[in-house]
Structure 1
Amino acid sequence: MLSSLLVAITRLLEFVTSVPSNIDWTKSSLYASMLSISAPPVLWNLVARNEFRRRTLAKYIGPHAGCITLATIIFAVGLYREVLYIKALDDQPEYSLLRGFKTAAFWILLVTSNLLLITSFSGLGFYGTFFGDHFGILKEERVTRFPFSVLDDPMYVGSTIYFVGIAVWYERPAGLMLSLYAALNYYIALKFERPFTNMIYGKQNSDLNHRD
């Protein structure tokens, strides 16, 4: 049992360290996947900020319908991103893992990612998840319960873990590079999102204090 576990762990470490030598940079699907990872955060931040400043959608269809429209776009783009990610993995070199260990690792990663995503959505609600605060749909206070009690940005962490899980399932080291690339994009996006969200809620608190 111990020897089998050591073999599985060794194989996993080899899988991770083999990333540089197992990326086929000639495949266009790899760059399409990278673009599909980078574009959505830029898209939804531009739309949400424009909505906060100009109320472009809210003026015509109302803030709630505008937020639902943005959510639909985010969801559709996210699905297409998954398709391109799997296509990119299919075109990349394979590095076989032990089947039992691969399955266990995949399910652990999948359950962890979904736990973070589902509990985040539950805490934030639909409008809180999809930039409702940029449409003027604000919560009374910031959410601080789990998973926000242990992570500042559990949705982005959950999404990154999901990318890693799929890379393990398909046994493609290149997927780890794309997962790291996704994490970097989320990190950059948060550099813009977090201060802007803090500003929105800071303004709300200031307005409430003035009313009091």
Structure 2
Amino acid sequence: MSNIIDAVEHYSALVDLSRPSLYISLVSISASPIVWNIIGRNEYKNHTLTKLIGARTACSILGTAIFLAGLLRDVLYKIALHDQPQYRLPYPIQTILAWIIFGTGNFLVAISYYQLGFYGTFCGDYFGILKEERVTSFPYNWLDNPMYIGAKMCFIGAALWYERPVGLLISLYVHLVYSVALHYEGPFTDMIYSNVKNEKYSQ
């Protein structure tokens, strides 16, 4: 029993649950997928923003807001990490592995953005701004959701680089949030492209 108590005390010392920055970071991680899914679905069904300012302008504004929110999320994550206890890691893990994971994550995000373009990345399909067909070239021929995977890898890499165990817990939360988002986004995007394909065949 004493071993269990010692283990709990040891691991609880690695995460400070009293820090507000931890919860602010978690909220910022949750906020963007919730907001862009609500706005995107409303736009697809009701064309609220499209009627006001046009599809491309509306999507550009939403995309810029999502991008800036992502930068803010990353800043808040870094603040949360620095507010937490540090756990020294061996050099190969703290530096080499951290950079491999972080670098690979950024590469996946960057190459995904290149393949999708601005509108493909930032909800263009909800605004009726579609590609001729869904992207299936690298990295999409290897991974279903490379941009989400890359983002998660960046969180993990930063946690190792800054040697903050809480970062791994936050990364797990990121995985859960993105998994829920994909549960709704994936089928909805499939439905959009399926409808477009059916319309082409019916013409």
Give the TM-score taking structure 2 as reference length: 0.92
Contact 1:23 1:93 in 2 (8 A): yes
Identify the residue that residue 169 of structure 2 maps to in structure 1. 177
Instruction: Find out whether 1:38 has 2:30 as its counterpart.
Output: yes
Contact 2:93 2:160 in 1 (8 A): no
**CA shift digits 1:141-174 (9 cap, x unpaired):** 1111111111111111000000001111110000
Identity %: 49
Alignment of 1:86-165 (within 5 A): 86-165=78-157
Q: Which amino acid aligns with 2:29?
A: I
Instruction: Find out whether 1:48 has 2:54 as its counterpart.
Output: no
Identify the residue that residue 75 of structure 2 maps to in structure 1. 83
Give the TM-score taking structure 1 as reference length: 0.88
- Partner SS for 1:22: coil
Contact 2:139 2:146 in 1 (8 A): yes
Query: What count of residue pairs does the alignment treat as equivalent?
Result: 194
Identify the residue that residue 7 of structure 2 maps to in structure 1. none
- Residue 46 of structure 1 deviates from its aligned partner by 0.6
Distance 1:156 1:21 in 2: 30
**CA shift digits 1:72-125 (9 cap, x unpaired):** 110111111111111111111100113354221122012201111111111111
**Unpaired runs of 5+ in structure 2?**
1-9
Identify the residue that residue 65 of structure 1 maps to in structure 2. 57
Q: Structure 1 pair 172/19, CA: closer, same or farther in 2 (3 Å)?
A: farther
**Unpaired runs of 5+ in structure 1?**
1-17
Q: Which amino acid aligns with 2:107?
A: L
Q: Structure 1 pair 176/19, CA: closer, same or farther in 2 (3 Å)?
A: farther
Compare 158-167 and 91-100 and name the one that shifted more: 91-100
Distance 1:72 1:124 in 2: 15
Contact 1:48 1:131 in 2 (8 A): yes
Distance 2:107 2:159 in 1: 19
Runs of 4+ in 1 over 4 A off after TM superposition: 18-21
Instruction: Find out whether 1:189 has 2:181 as its counterpart.
Output: yes
- Partner SS for 2:22: helix
